[in-house]
Amino acid sequence: MQKVIIVRYCEIHLKGKNRGYFEKVFLENLEKALSGIRHEIHRPSGRYLVDGFDEARADEIAARLAKVFGTHSVSVAQQIPADMEEIYRSVVRIAPESGTFKVQTNRADKHFPLDSMQINAQIGGRLLAERPQLRVDVREPQKTLYIDIRENGTALVFSDYIKGAGGMPVGTSGKGMLLLSGGIDSPVAGYMIAKRGMVLEAVHFHSYPYTNMQAREKVENLAEILSRYTGGLHLHVVSVTRIQEEIHKHCPDEMMITLLRRFMMRIAERIGKRVGAQCIVTGESLGQVASQTIEGMTSSNAVLESFPVLRPLVGFDKTEIIERARQIGTYETSVQPYEDCCTVFLPKHPLIRPDLAKVRLAEEKLDVAALLEDALAQEETVVFK
């Protein structure tokens, strides 16, 4: 007997002739998730099987694999010869002492002498005879004991399904530039779009010395958490201090956020083109704050030369976003009280519905090209593997 981990995937089986490509990328991501851990991955029909690892690390390995996008579920199983006596001994090890249970068998090997119902009956009957405190409940058992008879002469026995991250393997849907702030929304947006298979690079804008280094460290912590799902992340850090000072000096106060967002979009697109990205991803939710009206979004979009903007949270309310942030582990970091650049020079009454013509007129007072070059010249990149 040896301990193995079963990995089942989601939508890949729907990909027809392209299925091999998606399986290849998924396997690469599984390998990356287990970097530094001795293991082997095999691909029997319709699933992946991990073995050759230190059995003391089984739960850690299962947790890592469950975070890989494309994973439907993970199970820690015992792999044994496909023999009824061996199967029973394995089932006994994981069966409860009391309560309700059922045995559920999948017989991939149609040459096995017993069918699924016969295996269930024999194994369940022996277990009831040995443990009289147990009762069978086929509808809502407290414990289900799974038996999977494989075509290679082995059987897998397990009792739990660990829910996977779902979605598509990262690397099958292009690359995007995530605008990553220190707030709740943008890490969730990154997670949501990576779940659809998109590779991400992130750009963070800071206003040092108006914001402190703790604010930057907070964002780096968020990037590190996000990288666990995305298979690594490059974080581009850009100062917009001079840009904000120039806007504050030459433009109406109420346009500060509107104009700053336009600069952010330009910078993200410039970096994105350099790294091979194809779009910008933001954490905006329609109507959530003053800058996230349709007019504000239109103003931001208008400066882009060729990139579309993906807003995976556009229809979410704040409660839904917070719930997802808790699930993925970013919430506690996001709510740490360190300000980001958007709170610097914050106007008392920001524009809710900016007029694009007036915005462009105000922007003519700025040397946009020079400010962009200055900001990009100070760019730093932090790599999370």
pLDDT tens string for the chain (385 positions)? 899 999 999 988 888 888 899 999 999 999 999 999 999 999 887 789 999 999 999 999 999 999 999 999 999 999 999 999 999 999 999 999 999 999 999 999 999 999 999 999 999 999 999 999 999 999 999 999 999 999 999 999 999 999 999 999 999 999 999 999 999 999 999 999 999 999 999 999 999 888 888 889 999 999 999 999 999 999 999 999 999 999 999 999 999 999 999 999 999 999 999 999 999 999 999 988 777 899 999 999 999 999 999 999 999 999 999 999 999 999 999 999 876 655 566 777 788 899 999 999 999 999 999 999 999 999 999 999 8
Contacts of 207 (CB under 8 A, 6+ apart): 239, 240, 241, 244, 340, 341, 344
Per CATH, the number for 175-384 is: 3.40.50.620
pLDDT of residue 212: 82
Over the range 224-258, which residues count as b (16 or more CB within 10 Å of their CB) and which as e?
Answer: ebbbbbbbbbbbbbbbbbebbebbeeebeebbbbb
- For 230, the token pair is 């995305």
Q: Tell me the longest C-alpha to C-alpha distance in the chain.
A: 87
- Kindly state the tokens that stand for 261: 């967002």
Looking at the structure, give the CATH architecture of the domain made up of residues 2-163: 2-Layer Sandwich (3.30)
Q: Residue 308 is encoded by which pair of tokens?
A: 């579309």
The pLDDT of residue 145 is 98
Backbone angles phi, psi at 271, to 5 degrees: -65, -40
Residue 1 half-sphere exposure, CB side, CA atoms within 13 Å?
Answer: 16
* Location of each CATH 3.30.2130.30 domain in the chain: 2-163
Q: Which of 83, 84, 65 is nearest to 75 (CA)?
A: 65
Q: How far is CA 363 from the centre of its chain?
A: 37
* CATH 3.40.50.620 segments of the chain: 175-384
Question: DSSP assignment, residue 196?
Answer: B
What pTM, to 2 d.p., does this model score? 0.89
Q: What is the pLDDT of residue 13?
A: 81
Amino acid at 247: I
The residues, ordered by sequence, that sit 6+ positions from 203 with a Cβ below 8 Å of its Cβ are: 177, 178, 179, 180, 235, 236, 237, 238, 264, 267, 268, 271
Tell me, what's the pLDDT at 208? Answer: 85
In this structure, are residues 201 and 277 in contact, taking their beta carbons and an 8 Å threshold?
Answer: yes
Tell me how long the chain is: 385
- Please report the pLDDT score of residue 344 as a whole number: 61
pLDDT of residue 143: 97
Q: Residue 17: its pLDDT value, please?
A: 86
Pick from 342, 275, 262: which is nearest to 305 by CA? 262
CB 93 within 8 A of CB 128: no
